[in-house]
Chain A
């Protein structure tokens, strides 16, 4: 079978000693990043990208490392949710609801093991879904012309703004800021400079890595300094680790339902892992015969969001790889990595670079097994990391972010710009303006404009081309619907605040 041949290619790439080592290192780093409050998948991956790039790793190796970090962070987020009642990252927010009560009842080890297994189930099934679905979607992607791509980018912004934020106008502002920033620099079509205000530094455009690290990592420093002392965490002791077979067997359907919901949420552009875990939890509570038990330390309340969160993480890779449209904040960061490595995601990636795609997929399968081992029998090691005090952790994170950006360009200008983005990110987060659309705008702005201009060249300047195929009309309808519908659904769906992934 063709699929197994391709997987064979993938495993031959992923099982080289270097890549295997990178996968294990990535899993360890990722779990640490996820476990540490304040460092989540998106900013964790963001600060590591410049370093991976400076190390001179080839495309496949960098991808193996970074996606292992990404999956690892999704696993690790639950550790501090359960033990400290502080989500280690955004998607782990829902896990605090039942995980911490379980820990207070002396079942911390059970909660950690159960959530680890749920993470494994979610991530594994989602990766299998990726294997089956991505090649199909990449075939459909061949139907996309410039007009369809333009509509697709629009759809990504609309659903991101509609579903994943609390205020559509603010999401639109954020998207416009990002798109506006992406226009700065040389115009590819005419070779003239645009909006650079005579600055030579700006001629090359704004480096998206600078923006990402600033918005995600540096802003976190300011947020952290402000919130110091507010979050008084009462840690819970971790007892002996035994595998709670009874809970695992009892929640098997919960895990599968959470996985299905999370996977769908992940595949939708703009929804991401936070929404996946949220929907999985809410759905499980809705269908339960005893919903009042949720929130008091119910194992189902731990299994559902963790399966959903990790399934969404896998699902979100599908639109990113096949269409070049990321489904979440972290996959936007991974897209930035691909672009830095000069890999153009999209349908051609599957035919031109099967080594990259299938090597990545094989690495994900390996990473999942490594993560299960790290997160169940060895979870105690990562629990230790939680006791690193913030006065050490935070300067360390800051310095790593600086070194990463500095090692890329060696210019103070980029560092200053990164600080400016950090300050902007801080202000926007205080105002409840999502920062992911900014990143998406900076990443996709030029492609979006290119496709619009190409469509106009084809039609000779007739705007009707944008609505000339059934596919593009469908995308426009989905985009407008995705933006408007949540306004009416908001009454029924109150979301956790501040979704950045």
Chain B
């Protein structure tokens, strides 16, 4: 199936779900003539109508990434999600070292260099943000109590 068809179908489904939830918006006793529902319903309808175009008139497929590149993108995604989850507890230095190192490794598979880049980026950015720009990032893990 053409990518555009799938994209159109997903958009259409989202649009219908959106309109359906918009009709459920609670109104209150203070009401203006239009109310809180109408504009979201209009938007959902525009989305539904526009979504029909790629379904019936799809563009040529884009060049999707090769299997190995898909894996790379997926693992970068996992790294970023992991980083977002642990940064509060693990502190900036350790989590950034790991995340930056791993992202660097996705781009160039050189473990030693990636590790070095991870450490230096974490230290340099921490210094720039905290000393120079005056942010107060927590550097070390919470459980160390530093």
A interface residues, Cβ below 8 angstroms from B: 51, 54-56, 167, 169-170, 172-173, 175-177, 179-180, 183, 187, 189-195, 197, 218, 221-222, 224-226, 228, 389-392, 394-396, 398-400, 402-403, 406-407, 410, 412, 415-416, 418-419, 422-423, 426, 430-433, 448-449, 452-453, 456-457, 459-461
Decide: B77 and A419 in contact? CB cutoff 8 A. Answer: yes
Contact B135 A389 (CB under 8 A): no
CB distance from B108 to the nearest CB of A (A): 4
Kindly state the separation between the CA atoms of A180 and B18 in the bound complex, as whole angstroms. Answer: 8
A218 touches B80 (CB 8 A): yes
Assess the A396–B100 pair: CB atoms within 8 A.
yes
Which partner residue on chain B sits nearest A189 by CB separation? B32
Chain B residues 69-123 with CB under 8 Å of chain A are: 69, 72-73, 76-77, 80-81, 83-85, 87-88, 92, 96, 99-101, 103-104, 106-108, 110, 113-114, 117-118, 121-122
Task: Describe A's contact surface by its main secondary structure.
Answer: helix
Contact partner, B69, options A226, A389, A423, A453, Cβ 8 Å: A226
B125 at the A interface (CB under 8 A): yes
Q: Closest residue of chain A to B110, judged by CB?
A: A391
Alpha-carbon gap, A422 to B79, bound state (A) = 13
Cβ contact within 8 Å between B121 and A395? yes
* With A398-B100, A403-B129, A419-B81 as contacts: A187 and B64 at CB distance below 8 Å: no
Q: How many A-B residue pairs have CB under 8 A?
A: 194
Q: Which 3 A-B pairs have the closest CB atoms?
A: A169-B53, A461-B33, A415-B84
Nearest CB of B to A332, in Å: 18
B139 beta carbon closer than 8 Å to chain A: no
Q: A169, A399, A410: which contacts B96 (Cβ < 8 A)?
A: A399
- A391-B104, A402-B83 as given contacts; A180 in contact with B76, CB under 8 Å: no
Task: Write the chain A residue with the least CB distance to B109.
Answer: A391
Chain B residues 25-48 with CB under 8 Å of chain A are 25-28, 30-36, 39-40, 43-44, 46-47
Q: Which of B51, B69, B73, B107 has a CB less than 8 Å from the CB of A394?
A: B107
Q: Which residue of chain B has its CB nearest to the CB of A192?
A: B26
CB pair A221 B28 closer than 8 Å = no
Establish whether residues A194 and B40, one from each chain, have CB atoms under 8 Å apart when the complex forms: yes
A187 touches B44 (CB 8 A): no
Other-chain contact of B3, A225, A431, A449 (Cβ < 8 Å): A431
With contacts A190-B28, A391-B117, A461-B34 taken as known, whether A170 is within 8 angstroms of B46 at the C-beta atoms is: no
In the complex, are the beta carbons of B137 and A407 less than 8 A apart?
A: yes
Q: Decide if B80 touches A456 in the complex (CB within 8 Å).
A: no
B residues lining the A interface (CB < 8 Å):
3-4, 7, 11, 15, 18, 21-22, 25-28, 30-36, 39-40, 43-44, 46-47, 50-51, 53-54, 57, 59, 62, 64-65, 69, 72-73, 76-77, 80-81, 83-85, 87-88, 92, 96, 99-101, 103-104, 106-108, 110, 113-114, 117-118, 121-122, 125, 129, 133-135, 137
A173 CB, min distance to chain B CBs, angstroms = 5
A-side contacts of B53, CB under 8 Å: 167, 169-170
Residue from A177, A194, A407, A460 within 8 A of B36 (CB atoms): A194
Question: In whole angstroms, how far apart are the Cα atoms of A183 and B35 in the complex?
Answer: 13
CB-based nearest A residue for B101 = A395
Q: Is the CB of A456 within 8 A of B32?
A: yes
Q: How would you classify the secondary structure of chain B's contact residues: helix, strand, loop or mixed? A: helix
Contact B87 A225 (CB under 8 A): no
Contacts A225-B76, A432-B59; A189 near B87 (Cβ below 8 A): no
- In the complex, which residues of chain B have a beta carbon less than 8 angstroms from the beta carbon of A180? 18, 40, 43-44, 47
B96: nearest chain-A partner, CB-CB: A399
Q: How far is it, in angstroms, between the C-alpha of A187 and the C-alpha of B27 when the chains are bound? A: 10
Q: Are B100 and A399 in contact (CB under 8 A)?
A: yes
CB-contact partner of B40 in A51, A195, A433, A456, under 8 A: A195
Which of B62, B88, B92, B137 sits near A412, CB closer than 8 Å?
A: B88
Max chain A Cβ within 10 angstroms of own Cβ: one of B54, B76, B87: B76
**Is B27 in contact with A460, judged by CB distance below 8 angstroms?**
no
Asked if B137 and A403 make an inter-chain contact with CB atoms under 8 angstroms apart, the answer reads yes
Closest chain A residue to B107, Cβ basis: A391
B34 and A452 form a contact (CB under 8 A):
yes
Q: Establish whether residues B36 and A396, one from each chain, have CB atoms under 8 Å apart when the complex forms.
A: no
Q: CA A410 – CA B138 in complex, angstroms?
A: 11
Given A170-B54, A395-B118, A419-B84, do A457 and B33 touch, yes or no (CB 8 Å)? yes
Q: Shortest Cβ distance from B79 into chain A, in angstroms? A: 9
Give Cα A183 to B38, complex, Å: 11
Knowing that A395-B99, A419-B84, A448-B39 touch, tell me 12 more A-B residue pairs with CB under 8 angstroms: A172-B46, A173-B51, A180-B40, A183-B40, A194-B36, A218-B80, A222-B76, A226-B65, A395-B103, A395-B107, A415-B83, A432-B59
Is B43 in contact with A179, judged by CB distance below 8 angstroms? Answer: yes
Report A-chain residues with C-beta under 8 Å of the C-beta of B137: 403, 406-407
Contact B76 A190 (CB under 8 A): no
Partner of B114, one of A225, A391, A406, A433: A391
Please indicate which of the listed interface residues B31, B34, B135 has the most CB atoms of chain A within 10 Å of its own CB: B34
- The residue that A432 contacts in the complex, of B25, B62, B85, with Cβ under 8 A, is B62
In the complex, the answer to whether B65 meets A173 with C-beta atoms within 8 Å is: no
- By a CB distance below 8 angstroms, the chain B residues around A394 are 103-104, 107
The residues of B that contact A415 with a CB separation of less than 8 Å are 83-84, 87
B71 shortest CB reach to chain A, Å: 10
